[in-house]
Structure 1
Amino acid sequence: MTSPIENGRGSLNSKSLVQGHRFALSKIYDVAIVGAGIVGLATVLELTTRYPRLRIIVLDKEKQIANHQSGHNSGVIHSGVYYRPGSLKARFCVQGAADIVRFCQSHKIPHAICGKLIIATVEDQRPALEELHRRAIANRVSGVRILGPEELREFEPHATGVAALLVPGAGITAYRRVAEKFAELALAAGAEIVTESEVHAIRANNGDFLLETSSGEIQSRFFINCAGLHSDRIARMTGAQLPVRIIPFRGEYYQLSPEKSALVRSLIYPVPDPRFPFLGVHFTRRITGEVEAGPNAVLAMRREGYRKSDFSVEDVSDQLSFPGFWRMAAKYWKTGCAEMYRSFSKPAFVRALQTLIPEIGEADVVPGGSGVRAQAVDRT
């Protein structure tokens, strides 16, 4: 039996998660949130908790909530190792990790604190590994320490490297389940969530916002943009002059065969390449027990381009017309070409995995899913 959250219909405490709902033109909301991914749903839950009298509506163009980045990710609960000390990313990651674990515990959402190894496979990577250790300590990530080759194998017997950073508090969960629970609680608190309602325009109206959607018009005192892959376009609808544009990158995964999944106990990451804003191909044990390998990071030709063949003239034109795209391409073209090569070459992908677990062979992995990351690129 499917839940109201899973199929986009049904009711919960007299409030519906409905599809294509036609709005009453006379109804004015206090807050309208565009985007029913995990960010938009966390936002509506927090607002309904703090301000229960507010009339809040969440709009999403898809049939289901959490349909894109929130539902296409590896499920990792990151710990705050990578971010510059004192930055908002560092603060929010450390606090968010603790919050999400407590939330999963409170609502019986599957999760596990399995730990993570970030492995330096060659001596040249040791300084970068030590810098990650320094950042983790500065960000107050608990329990982190450097391991030597023998200690590394005690934690992950099939992995190899010259040193590793152990992050014992890293974990995994099912973020779509988290998003569904956010939605369920927000609906119970009186919020409205309407799917299949794409926003086409946003206008000012006597100090309020008038949102033109595929389900009609709504008026709201406040507007919050949580539109993920389309957040820059939604922002431009308000007349905002943005210094950034969303550039989509597809991440493609392989999955270890059931016979080889025992090679990975937890999360195994490489030391990230400082020249590239991604973490590199890695091994992730999912909450369901499967082990994913990946992702790579290749430029997508469509903002929701989960397949290599996906293409959108509008999305590609958006990329090519933005000066920041060309500066990014000039800076990262070598790494980008290597990522593209791995996308089309299974042997090349497997060779990257073998730097972490040499036992992995081409026969041990099968194509898995994919996700698209909204990379906010500025003009510089």
Structure 2
Amino acid sequence: MNMPENLQPLVDLIELPLPRVDKLPENAEATMDIPHHLIPYLKLAFDGLQQPFAKFLERCKPHWIIYDFAPYWLPPTTSKLGISCISFCIFSASGMTSFLESFRRTTSGSESSWGKDIPVEHNESNESGVSDVFRVLTTSDAAQVIAARSCMEIEGEALKVCKSMHSKPVIPVGLLPPSLQFSEDRNDENWDTILKWLDKQEEGSVMYVAFGSEVTLSDEEFTEISMGIEMSGFPFFWVLKKQNTSKIDLQDLVVKNSGKGLVWRTWAPQMRILAHKSVGGFLSHSGWSSVIESLQVGCPLVMLPFQNEQFIVARLMEEKRVGVKVERSEHDGKFSRESLANALRSVMLETTYRSESEEMSKIFGDKELHQKYIDEFVEYIEIHRPAVKD
């Protein structure tokens, strides 16, 4: 993503190369670069930045530092230098609350409606030496402020619960919806191809399918999704990335048998596709960013969560009647082609989900509302700017 020109003179980018870690592919720097089972090794490599980053902070001594949940080792350094911390919650507020409740449920044995959807793996130490829940708790507990990508209009209850749990300021910074002002590039052959195909479809008839950059489907899951989409009978646009399946020949089979659909194997302009009049629904993994983008333009959701907070987000959006969660078996947690096809038909054929999503877009797509949240956050950190130790 290119930085806006007006901000470029104000920002200095400092490169801190990741240390080499066994089992981590060369040049892997983000979760989108690797399959899900290697993510703990990426966290281990990130933890190797502890000393280089400490030296950087000693040299520049900022008033504030904003971090996500990963650098659990950072608070001792910031405390020593008198640097105040803001923990930026990359999850939904509901997801953050569930992480906290999940930890409390594990340590106390009590049940909670908030924490029940967090996968057990996040409470367990992984190859990096600590659990994800430990990272979240350590970084949030050490911060003076928690900033959340959320707003009171959507997650008011969760934000209040989160503030009560932490006993510190929890400041929503809005949903940070992406711009809908698309720059025209006459040489963009990819978009031209996509646009021509979408323009040929009937209004509201296409199911857009994308599972983000981190989801790796098993062969069985991939087959059930393929067959479920086919059973539904709707034309589809499927962004099928390399890491989404373990076998490329399965992708080849879908491309060969795509029939009414278009399979896209490279990067696709998701916001442009969702905003197109022919798209009637979004089959998604329920990642928070994808949900925000979809509801920003009033596109209803078919939600097939796989990991992390996706289950919590899916439950929240189903409660708000802007989509349907694909049913999974209570016995083994698997979904079927039939359950997927049923969810697709519900969202595409029942007008309630479209009308509720369009109503919700008045909040998700309210540029002035979310800018107001950002302005209030900036004002807070300016007013509470701490003095840095010499």
TM-score (norm 1): 0.28
Q: Comparing both structures, which one devotes a greater share of its residues to helix?
A: 2
Q: Comparing both structures, which one devotes a greater share of its residues to strand?
A: 1
Higher relative contact order structure (alpha carbons within 8 Å, sequence separation ≥ 6): 1
TM-score (norm 2): 0.27
